[in-house]
Structure 1
Amino acid sequence: MTAPEGRAGRREWVGLAVLVLPCLLASMDMSVMFITLPSLAADLGPSGSEQLWIMDSYGFLLAGLLITMGTLGDRFGRRRVLLAGAAAFGVTSVLAACSTSPGTLIAARMLLGIAGATLAPSTLSLIRSTFHDAAQRATAVGIWTAGFAGGAVLGPIIGGLLLEHFWWGSVFLINVPVMVLLLVLGPLLLTEHRDPEPGRFDLPGAAMSLVAVLSVIYGIKSTAEHGFGWIPLACCVAGLAVGAAFLLRQHRAASPMIDTRLFRSRRFTVPLLIDALATFGLVGFSLFNWQFMQLVLGMGALESALWSLPTFLVMPLGIALATAAAPRVGKHNVVAAGLLVATAGYVLLALLRAGSGIVHLVGGMAVVSIGVGAVSAVVTEVILSAAPPQRAGAASALAETSAEFGGALGIAILGSVGTAVYRSELAATAPGGLTSDVLEAAKSTLGGAVETAATLPKGTADSLRDAAFDAFAQEARIASMVSAVLMAGAAVLIATLLRTTHTRTGPVATPAAAEHQDAGGAGKPSSRTASHR
């Protein structure tokens, strides 16, 4: 079957399915640890600090290297970098599964993060290079978005099913056959694309981007886990300073990793901000979502993971509606509508009480998921289209980095605000007669309150649990309200700032883009960027 000129055919759509698989696994490897940690902790015996590194080292390295790996794809070939990363991801997955100590597992998780950083920007930039038709590209980006989001939901479910029958290392070994499949099918279905004139690779710039991202995300996550302190604050300030120096270097460089002229366009910068805000609420509220199901409603890890499945299943609905509506009513209107739908979901969650059932929680999260799905699919496509094709890898990396920062900020800010609310509420409503040590343990976290209640006489224990559940419900309501205000504000922002810009697909008119258009036309590869096998 031959597709019309400029439109993707069957080969490209099958190739898209191949591109979605590694992204699904990359996001699964972030969420699967929530359910796997107790099993591996019992086997390997890591300390508290080592457990945090097992959880966070993967995400730290992945986020810190997205920009570098996206640039390497532009320079050396996006398919080549993707396949190299897939091979490394498969090998390091085996190393993680065979780890016999916390140190070796941490090292394997760090290597997994390095390999995983190649997957998202390479796959997304290959979509930009493969799907030249605007409508088809929007659909392809929507499918990619659903796959990436689905991995985060499917991780605990698949992990729970595997742990029912196998040891904890099996959650890593499922990566291997998928990566082997990618290595076999990738060369057959994916065409190579690269920047024909990449210039010299900026090694100091790559190091600066890594230090900047790692420092800020470490500071944010440390604040979320331990509260405000001088060390996390110093990390954030240092990271921002290095990030500013990195952008200044890119502005002056003859062959920059990031074309800073892109940031002059609202069509590029506003979608980046919106993507971060949408992820802020979704990831930040997940803290309360999981605790409510497991601690307040008393569900097990696998049962709570299964109840989160409807949230993922409705996301394609939002993506499909947004993709279909964008050409008719304008992308900025669709994004604004998606943000308002997410706002309605958070308002529903703001009505949550300790006695609310699972349907209330899942229903509210499903509405949020529909809205965020619509937003993410459209803004990601807008970010890709706004950048010239030869910079697709760097643009993809920026999109993913903004989402990573949004999620980290959501966990830190909503977690910190929520903790303050919880402690204040429980201090005011806890039953009398508790010692200061018992009360402090209960005020630390909801999990601490449940564990503390188990050591008390029944009447006092029931009263403490009820007070803790009510305080946590208030914490979740405040987080929902904050998220609702942010989503509503973001809707106003995008309706105001992008209302007068063009919504058609096409790269921002930077000199690089203009040169590309002169060579072969906007939206299609020129003779210098012709695909080759």
Structure 2
Amino acid sequence: MNETPDTPKPGPRAWLGLAVILGPVLLVAMDGSVLFLAMPKVTEALSPTADQALWTLDVYGFVVGSLLITFGTIGDRYGRLRLLMIGVTLFGLASLGAAFASGPEALIAFRALMGLAGATLLPSALAVLGELFVDPRRRAQAIGIFAAAFAAGFAIGPAVGGQLLSHFWWGSVFLVNLPVLVLFLLLAPLLLREVRGARAGRIDALSVVLSVAGLLMSVYSLKHLAAEGLSAGTVIVGLAGVAVLVWFVRRQLGLEHPLIDFGLFRDRVFTVAIVTGLLPLAAWSATAYLSGIYLQSVLGISVLSAALHAVPGALLLTLTCVVTPMLVTRVGKRSALVICHFLIAAGLFLLQPIASSAGVGWYVASTVLAGVGYGISFSLVAETAVAAVPAERAGSAAAIAETSNEIGNALGIALLGSLSVLIFRLQGPDLAGTFGETLDLPGLAPAVIDRTKDAFVTGLQAVALVAAVLHLALGLLTLRRVPKDLDAGERADTHGGGSVSPVGAG
């Protein structure tokens, strides 16, 4: 992958184009986590129910994850730059609507619209980037920067949200998107060129509908079960969601151009890589969201202080994304995967000693230790998944890897967040539906307030413990099932000094 005399070197246009592309990419990732510290303020302003609060957080990730592959194919057919411009415009309008939403239902709807726009941005941005960097080595470096920016967006989202809320109202976490998006719309036509796929596959509309409907119905059922208990309607919706997802999987197996190529999961290395893309995002999103509430509503520290306490873990996570290729060179890919799961598990275990009266030090130590593990996983997943499959299926593998990240981010809030809600409902004082609503009740006795906070902390500890045990199990599975000579078996075209695309370029 060395430069040849016939390969043009990237000029200023390429690097300026990369900088312009990184703006929307950073925002799409950041908006998956920017509400984690903002939710207490959102709850105070809009008074959502328990399941509405969870939907506000995770509907964005579900929509992005469900539509990534679909919009990758649409971009191949109608033009990546055109889709990118439409997506950025829609993202900006949806952000404006979310900032001034008058109620939880409106906020959820605008968050879903932001997710739809975000799904157009990621695959198109990467494809346009490929046009800017023709030389494979420079392209690998650019993709590495792209992947680091995407991971950084997830990591810094809570800190950015906390900083904004220390000066402005909760809607500012969405308005911050607008200057970046306007700058992109002004500069993109000057620096970027249109890109179309050489062979655009057919889009199966029914598969898109089945994937989205099955996910949303299944998650809706789980959230209602956790928040309100067992009911016939909730069970019926949940069973219907599972049936729709089974239908979706069976349909993919018979399509010439499936939305998700499930045949790739026959490779155990690919399967471990995809689970590694999903589980760390699930653990990180759930614990980051619940920890934000813990710091502000349980310990009573300001949103600015909560944001500052999140910074060390976010910085270390981002730095780890950058240095992971050097770690892989020293210890090998399998060892790096094992290390990432064990570090995340160890970091999550550090949340067990926290209490309703103190625990900031344990929180910071947890985010720092787990942050190294998260950084390794974010940087390594797509490259491992792509290297595990034949070259002609690399695009599908990369798209599934990115989809696993987005779905993991949403599932963390949906499933682990619902576990926290369930534990609070069972152990709390049973005076209101949510932790925030309970604390807002007038005239609470000190003993009731203590019980309310203790129940929330127990839920957070349970979520961290479940996620830690799952990571420990996945680390052991990787140790047993992934071959030691993983790196020796990679295709030559996966090397070149940077991470492989986190999204399918088509």
Tell me if TM exceeds 0.5: yes
- In the TM superposition, what are the counterparts of 1:253-402 in structure 2 within 5 Å? 253-386=255-388, 394-402=396-404
Q: Which residue of 2 aligns with 1:491?
A: 475
Task: State the shift of 1:40 in Å.
Answer: 7.2
Q: Which residue of 2 aligns with 1:527?
A: none
Q: What are the Cα deviations for residues 299-321 of structure 1, in whole angstroms up to 9, with x where unaligned? A: 23343233222221111232233
Q: Which residue of 1 aligns with 2:26?
A: 24
Conserved in 2, the CA contact under 8 Å of 1:138 and 1:377?
Answer: no
Task: State the shift of 1:147 in Å.
Answer: 2.8
Task: State the shift of 1:345 in Å.
Answer: 0.9
Conserved in 2, the CA contact under 8 Å of 1:64 and 1:214?
Answer: no
Task: State the shift of 1:482 in Å.
Answer: 2.0
Q: Which residue of 2 aligns with 1:63?
A: 65
Task: State the shift of 1:92 in Å.
Answer: 3.4
What letter corresponds to residue 88 of structure 1 in structure 2?
Answer: L
Q: Which residue of 2 aligns with 1:429?
A: none
Conserved in 1, the CA contact under 8 Å of 2:78 and 2:196?
Answer: yes
Conserved in 2, the CA contact under 8 Å of 1:208 and 1:246?
Answer: yes
Q: State the aligned residue count.
A: 490
**Rounded Cα–Cα distance in structure 1 between residues aligned with 2:253 and 2:265:** 11
Q: Cα–Cα, structure 1 residues 232 and 189, in superposed 2: closer, same or farther, change >3 Å?
A: farther
Conserved in 2, the CA contact under 8 Å of 1:267 and 1:383?
Answer: yes
Task: State the shift of 1:89 in Å.
Answer: 1.6
Conserved in 2, the CA contact under 8 Å of 1:36 and 1:159?
Answer: no
Q: Which residue of 1 aligns with 2:503?
A: none
Conserved in 2, the CA contact under 8 Å of 1:341 and 1:370?
Answer: yes
Q: What are the Cα deviations for residues 269-306 of structure 1, in whole angstroms up to 9, with x where unaligned? A: 22111111112221222343122211221123343233
Task: State the shift of 1:449 in Å.
Answer: 5.1
Q: What are the Cα deviations for residues 136-188 of structure 1, in whole angstroms up to 9, with x where unaligned? A: 37733541343331353244225415526xxx554433322212322344455
Q: Which residue of 2 aligns with 1:455?
A: 443
**Rounded Cα–Cα distance in structure 2 between residues aligned with 1:49 and 1:466:** 24
Q: What are the Cα deviations for residues 331-353 of structure 1, in whole angstroms up to 9, with x where unaligned? A: 12111111111122122222223
Q: Which residue of 1 aligns with 2:502?
A: none
Q: Which residue of 1 aligns with 2:248?
A: 246
**Rounded Cα–Cα distance in structure 2 between residues aligned with 1:275 and 1:13:** 28
Which ranges of structure 2 fall in alignment gaps of 5 or more residues?
497-506
Q: Between 225-234 and 354-363, report the one with greater CA deviation.
A: 225-234
What letter corresponds to residue 315 of structure 1 in structure 2?
Answer: L
Task: State the shift of 1:371 in Å.
Answer: 0.9
The structure with higher relative contact order (CA 8 Å, sep 6+) is: 2
What secondary structure, in the 3-state scheme, does the structure 2 residue paired with 1:163 have?
Answer: coil
Q: Which residue of 2 aligns with 1:216?
A: 218
What letter corresponds to residue 465 of structure 2 in structure 1?
Answer: M
What secondary structure, in the 3-state scheme, does the structure 1 residue paired with 2:31 have?
Answer: helix
| Identity %, equivalent residues | 34
Q: What are the Cα deviations for residues 455-479 of structure 1, in whole angstroms up to 9, with x where unaligned? A: 14xxxx3333344444444443333
Task: Please tell me whether residue 181 in structure 1 is matched to residue 183 in structure 2.
Answer: yes
**Rounded Cα–Cα distance in structure 2 between residues aligned with 1:420 and 1:100:** 28
Pairwise CA RMSD: 3.9
What secondary structure, in the 3-state scheme, does the structure 2 residue paired with 1:196 have?
Answer: coil
Task: Please tell me whether residue 140 in structure 1 is matched to residue 142 in structure 2.
Answer: no
**Rounded Cα–Cα distance in structure 1 between residues aligned with 2:225 and 2:25:** 28
Task: State the shift of 1:446 in Å.
Answer: 4.1
Task: State the shift of 1:226 in Å.
Answer: 3.9
Determine which structure has more spread, i.e. the larger CA radius of gyration.
Answer: 1
TM-score by length of 1: 0.77
Q: Which residue of 2 aligns with 1:163?
A: 168
**Rounded Cα–Cα distance in structure 2 between residues aligned with 1:504 and 1:7:** 30
Task: State the shift of 1:125 in Å.
Answer: 5.5
